[in-house]
Amino acid sequence: MIKELVKYISNQLGYVIGDDIYAGFVRTDAKDNIVAVLERSGGSVYGDLEDRVDYVVQVYSRNKDYWEGREELIRVYNLLHRIEGVELPVVDGEEYVLMVGEAMAFPQFIGIDDKKRFEFSCNFNLKIRKK
């Protein structure tokens, strides 16, 4: 599901996967200004609804400029928060529907990394089902 979600975000916001946005991890040689969707927050599954999951992801932004890094994450926030009924792009053959997306909080500054880049984070609870 993470690849499909990143593909959706990149299609909507004009990011290039593997350059501007990453799925699951950030390469060590990535440029300074990036966005990543990370699986660090767990989620819930339902035994009687095997095709449904509450998928919790962290969206992370890193940038040399504080305000640009903040704004990039707010762009993703505006796209995913309170989204409903979106068919995600097919990447590996599975079809998914993002039924409802909710941010767990507004994007937050989380610190400065060892290369003096500003970091921001926002967690989302995405209710997704197989189509």
For 86, the token pair is 């979106």
Query: What sign has the CA pseudo-torsion 9, 15, 21, 23?
Result: positive
Structure tokens given for 48? 């009687």
Q: How many domains does the chain have?
A: 1
pLDDT of residue 48: 62
Look at residue 1 in the predicted model and tell me its pLDDT.
Answer: 86
pLDDT band at residue 49 using 50, 70 and 90 as cut-offs: low
Answer whether residue 28 shows pLDDT above 70.
Answer: yes
Q: Which helix (H) or strand (E) holds 6?
A: helix 2-13
pLDDT digits (tens, 9 = 90+) for 33-42: 999 999 987 7
**Do the Cβ atoms of 70 and 59 come closer than 8 Å?**
no
| Domain of residue 85, residue span | 2-130
Average of per-residue pLDDT values in the chain: 93
Q: What is the pTM of this model?
A: 0.91
| pLDDT at 73 > cutoff 90 | yes
Relative orientation angle of helices 2-13 and 66-80, to the nearest 10 degrees? 110
C-alpha to C-alpha distance for 5 and 130, rounded to whole angstroms: 13
Lowest mean pLDDT segment, chosen from 11-25, 31-45, 66-80 = 31-45
Q: Domain with 74 in it: what CATH number?
A: 3.30.2000.30
What is the DSSP secondary structure assignment for residue 90, as one 8-state letter? P
Q: How far apart are CA 24 and CA 46, in angstroms?
A: 23
What average pLDDT does range 2-24 have in this prediction? 97
